[in-house]
Amino acid sequence: MAIPQINVAGDKEGQFISRTFVNVLGTEYKIRIKTDDEEPYFKLGIADGYCSGLEKEITILNCFRYARIKDESSTYKAERMKDALRHEIVHAFLYESGLDTDSHQEKEAWARNEEMVDWIAKQGHKIHMAWETVGCLPMIMSPDNWLDFNASQTSSLTEET
């Protein structure tokens, strides 16, 4: 089955995020790509994305239509969006795990520590590769099972704009 491509910017540069949803521990999170005109939070320039555990949505800044970085390369914009998406997916996993809000203290909870979330977002695929290399992935995570699991939940990417 061909994986549908999300076209976030109305052109080829946006075709790297493959789905409008992600399975987070059995809960479907919508992935939305918005410009800073569509999402005032992005106008502040303090984040490229956010995750709403209550609404099961992840919203990512459309870097291809972001004036502040209009002169950057397509690679820069795509990698920046992927960075943000990985980061927000980590937030979603922590939320669905029940670790998001407490983690022993009201302020500076470890599960809301941006550095810790970023560490997982930046190292997760390397840890996964190490596990895969030595063949110790759990059965559900073998590439065939994982793709089948996600393919069964694939929704049209063009229905969400």
Q: How far is the CB of 141 from Zn ion (least distance, A)?
A: 24
Q: How far is the CB of 95 from Zn ion (least distance, A)?
A: 11
**CB closer to Zn ion out of 9 and 84:** 84
How far is it, in rounded angstroms, from Cα 74 to Cα 148?
Answer: 31
**CB closer to Zn ion out of 92 and 117:** 117
Which residues make up the interface to Zn ion (CB under 5 A)?
Answer: 114, 117
**CB closer to Zn ion out of 13 and 83:** 83
How far is it, in rounded angstroms, from Cα 14 to Cα 122?
Answer: 21
- CA 74 → CA 28, 45, 80, 92, 115, distances in Å? 29, 19, 10, 27, 26
Q: Which residue has the tokens 């229905």?
A: 159
Q: How far is the CB of 77 from Zn ion (least distance, A)?
A: 19
